[in-house]
Amino acid sequence: MKVGAEHFAELAVALHDEQTVEETLDEVLRFALDGVGCSMAGVVFVHGRGRIETAAATEPAVRELETVQLDAGAGPDLEVLGADDSLLVHDTRTDERWPAWAEVADRLGVRSLLAVRLHTRDTTVGTLNLYAGEPGAFDEDDVAVAHIFARHAAVALASARNLRNLWEAVDARKAVGQAQGILMERYRLTPDQAMAVLLRYSQDGNLKLRAVAEQLIETTQLPATDDDAS
């Protein structure tokens, strides 16, 4: 897909209009999927030398691929964080740089990767990672487009709040995801149903969503509401 100036203008406006890290991440992934020929995408935040964490992903497989890299201590995201601004894997079946990661990628149906570093002049925020199910999916035009996406994303994320608040937002996202998992397992709910339960308790109790999630994780109980008392 060829991306024109209007698409980039829309991207810039959308990212810089977003009020939260979560909303900004969602916009980054949406525009990445629309602007580059990929089937999955994810954003990784870097907390320090070699320590990375998946901040957002369009599919569970993306998170699995990040976990493999952390466990092995090697992979394309770690590589692009420490060296180049971008990195291409043309075919996971023939690429020999990270065998453990490539094996899992092939099993998950990922044949190509384009990873781009998210950075501003002062700091590296993380990476934008684009995945495709066919080999040789990304060309130099895709790399150029991804770099533009990454630059907008890095500036938007870094300027939205300081890094401390950024990590707090990621922790909140993790807590909500963990609480969703508890409700899904306990009551056999779908992800959307579990999120609806958390949102209802948040609204009814006038509590932040993160506070509801953390109470469920710590006590295995949802907070009491006025409806519960009646």
Looking at the structure, do residues 137 and 199 belong to the same domain, yes or no?
A: no
Q: Is residue 137 part of a domain?
A: yes
**pLDDT: which is higher, 50 or 45:** 45
Question: Is residue 89 pLDDT above 70, yes or no?
Answer: yes
Q: How confident is the model at residue 111 (pLDDT cuts 50, 70, 90)?
A: very high
Q: What pLDDT was estimated at residue 1?
A: 47
| Residue 20 scores a pLDDT above 50 | yes
3-state SS assignment for residue 56 = strand
> Do 39 and 115 fall within a single domain?
yes
Q: What is the pLDDT of residues 56-79, one digit of tens each?
A: 899 999 999 988 988 888 899 889
Mean pLDDT of the region 41-64: 83
The Cα 137–Cα 21 span in angstroms is: 29
Q: E strand or H helix at 195, and its extent?
A: helix 191-204
pLDDT reading at 32 higher than 90: no
Q: What pLDDT is recorded for position 97?
A: 94
User: Both 148 and 198 in a single domain?
Assistant: no
Contact of 65 with 130, CB cutoff 8 Å? no
Q: CA nearest 67: which of 25, 108, 117, 118?
A: 108
Of residues 157 and 6, the one with the higher pLDDT is 157
What total of structural domains would you count in the chain?
2
Indicate if 71 and 177 belong to the same structural domain.
Answer: no
Tell me, what's the pLDDT at 50?
53
Determine the structural domain holding residue 192 and report its residue range. Answer: 168-223
Are 50 and 114 within one domain? yes
Task: Please choose, from the candidates 143, 152, 74, the residue with its C-alpha nearest in 3D space to the C-alpha of residue 115.
Answer: 143
Determine the 3-state secondary structure of 229 from DSSP: helix
Domain boundary among 109, 131, 160: 160
Classified as helix, coil or strand, 112 is strand
Answer yes or no: do 197 and 139 share one domain: no
pLDDT tops 50 at residue 5: no
Distance CA 172, CA 188 (A): 23
Q: Looking at residue 135, what is its pLDDT?
A: 96
Whether residues 31 and 123 fall in one domain:
yes
Q: CB pairs under 8 A, 24+ apart, for 72-77?
A: 72/98, 72/100, 72/101, 74/98, 74/100, 74/101, 75/100, 75/101, 76/101, 76/113, 76/115, 76/129, 77/44, 77/52, 77/115, 77/127, 77/129
Among the listed ranges 36-40, 51-55, 124-128, which one has the minimum average pLDDT value? 51-55
CB burial class (10 A; 0-12, 13-18, 19+) of residue 101?
A: buried
Residue 179's nearest CA partner among 196, 160, 164, 154 is 196
